[in-house]
Amino acid sequence: MKLPLDIRLRPTPSEGEKLLRANRIREAEETFVAEAAAQPRNPRPSLALGHIALMRDRLESAEALLADAIARDPRCRDAHELLAETHYRRNDFASAAPHEEAAGYGAMAAKLRSFDGRRPYDIQGPGEVRLPFVRTDPLPILTARVNGGPEVRFLLDTGGGEVILDRAYASSIGLPDFGGRRGAFAAGKKAAVGQSAIDSLTLGELTVSDVPVTVVDIAPLGASIGEPALAGIIGTVLLYRFLATIDYSGGALVLRRKGSSAPKAAPGAVELPLLLADDHYMLAEASLNDGPPLLCFVDTGLAGGAFTCPESTLKAAHIAVSGKPQATGLGGGGRISLRFFDVGSLAMGAARRENLRGVLGPFPPALEHEYGVRIGGLVSHGYLCAYAATFDFERMVLRLEPAAA
C-alpha cells in the first residue's frame, strides 16, 4: 500500500514517541495511554496505540483505537490510512474504501469499490499445496496462472505488498485500470504504480479468486535476475492469507490454510515474535556482529546479499564501507549504487550465520523511522536461504528451521 504520512517522529516528540523510536514498545504503550487521557483533543496517542495494535495484528483493538483518533480529528490522514489497512486485512473492502479516499488514495479506493458483491481473496482447493521453485537463486521463481491463462513466472518476494503484475503483461490480458501514483522502492527510488484486479490466481491445485493487484514495470528487474519474461511478483499480502513457508532447501513455497497447525518444529528451529507494519513490512529482531538487537525488515528479495541497512547502523557497529560505489543493482524504481561490507555474523534469536555479504544502498532511507519504531536493517535472501522460513500470521511468529532438517 502506501507509507503513512506522519507516523514518523516530529521535531517536538512526545515521551511516548521517544520511547517508540527507541523500540521500547511496551513502555511507549503505557505512556500513550496516559497521553490520550490527558489530551482529549490530540489524535496522536490513539493513532500510535492503534498503529501498535495493527503491527501486532490485533485488528479489533486497532479498529477501536484508530476510530478514536478519527473522532478526535476527522482530518487525521494517518488514522484513515491505518484503519483502511485494518479493514483490508479482514477482506472488508467496502469498509476500507472510504478511509482510503479520506487518506487521499483515490485510485486505491476505486479498486476496492470494484469488489462490491464479491469476496476478495476467496481460496478454493486443498488445505495445503507445495509449489516447487523453477529455481531458487538468485531469488525464488515459481509459476502461476492468471485468469485461467497459461503458466507464467512469478518472483517470490516478501519485500512486495499486493500481488504485482508487470505493466506490459497486465495490458496484454486486458486488466482494468483504476489509476495510480508514484510509489517508493529500494533505495527510496520512485516509480509509477497502477491499481488493478484479477479474477483469479492459480497456484498449483489452489486458486485464489478476486485478487487486487498493483501494476509496475518489472521487465528490467526480471532481466537483471535472468527472467526476461517475468510476469509478476508474489508478496506478503497474499502470503498473509495463509500459513506460508518458504522452504529454500526443499525448493518450494508451501501454503496452508489459516487455522491449520504448522508441522512440528524440527530440532534447532527458532521462533521469533513478528510485527507487521503497513501491509507488508514484516519486522523481527536480528543482531549484527553480536551487537544489540535491531528491529529488521524481513525482505526476501535482496539478490546477492544477506543484509542491508542505513548508514547509522554501520556506524554504530563500527563497520567501514568504501566511499565509492562498487557496483550497480536494480530495484523497482531503477538502478541503485551499491557498496559492500562483510557481515561477521547475523543472528535472529539462536539462528546464527557467519561470513555473509552486506550491501549498502538498497535500504530506503525513509524506512528507518517511517513507522515510529526504528528499523535498523533488512534481512534477506543470503541469510534466509539456509532455512525453511514459516510466517505464522495467526500467532505472529517467524519460525526458522535449519536446512539440514
Residue 373, CA atoms < 13 Å, CB-side half-sphere? 27
CA dist., res. 154 & res. 133, Å (int): 10
pTM for the whole structure: 0.94
Q: Is residue 262 part of a domain?
A: no
Tell me: the pLDDT tens digits for 385-404? 999 999 999 999 999 999 86
Structurally, how many domains does the chain consist of?
3
Domain holding 57: CATH number? 1.25.40.10
Q: Is residue 9 part of a domain?
A: no
Residue 281, pLDDT score: 98
Residues 294, 171: one domain?
no
Residues 170, 277: one domain?
no
- Rounded to 5°, the CA angle 353-355-357 comes to 105
Closest by CA to 274, choosing from 232, 319, 244, is 244
CA dist., res. 323 & res. 81, Å (int): 39
- Among 231, 257, 283, identify where a domain stops: 257
Residues 204, 142: one domain?
yes
3-state secondary structure of 274: coil
Instruction: State which residues form the domain around 22.
Output: 15-113
CB neighbours of 293 closer than 8 A, spacing ≥ 6?
A: 285, 286, 287
Q: Is residue 5 part of a domain?
A: no
Residues 167, 281: one domain?
no
Residue 5, pLDDT score: 42
- Among 257, 283, 314, identify where a domain stops: 257
Cell 523481527 sits on residue: 284
- Among 196, 227, 257, identify where a domain stops: 257
What DSSP character marks residue 306? S
Q: Is residue 339 part of a domain?
A: yes
CB neighbours of 37 closer than 8 A, spacing ≥ 6?
A: none
Residues 238, 276: one domain?
no
Q: Is residue 173 part of a domain?
A: yes
Domain holding 337: CATH number? 2.40.70.10
- Mind listing the pLDDT tens digit of every residue in the chain (405 residues)? 444 445 544 558 899 999 999 999 999 999 999 999 999 999 999 999 999 999 999 999 999 999 999 999 999 999 999 999 999 999 999 999 999 999 999 999 999 999 999 999 999 999 999 999 999 999 999 999 999 999 999 999 999 999 999 999 999 999 999 999 877 676 666 678 999 999 999 999 999 999 999 999 999 999 999 999 999 999 999 999 999 999 999 999 999 999 888 788 888 999 999 999 999 999 999 999 999 999 999 999 999 999 999 999 999 999 999 878 778 777 767 788 899 999 999 999 999 999 999 999 999 999 999 999 999 999 999 999 999 999 999 999 999 999 864
Q: Is residue 88 part of a domain?
A: yes
Residues 87, 194: one domain?
no
Residues 196, 233: one domain?
yes
List the beta bridge partners of residue 143.
Answer: 153
Residues 98, 205: one domain?
no
Q: Is residue 247 part of a domain?
A: yes
Which DSSP string do the residues of 127-160 spell out, in sequence order? SEEEEE-SB-SSS-EEEEEETT--EEEEEE-TT-
Residues 321, 379: one domain?
yes
Residues 157, 246: one domain?
yes
Closest by CA to 182, choosing from 171, 190, 170, is 190
At how many degrees (to 10) do helices 77-89 and 59-72 cross? Answer: 160
Residues 108, 129: one domain?
no
15: left (phi over 0), alpha (psi -120 to 50) or beta: alpha
Residue 188, pLDDT score: 67
Q: Is residue 179 part of a domain?
A: yes
Residues 215, 290: one domain?
no
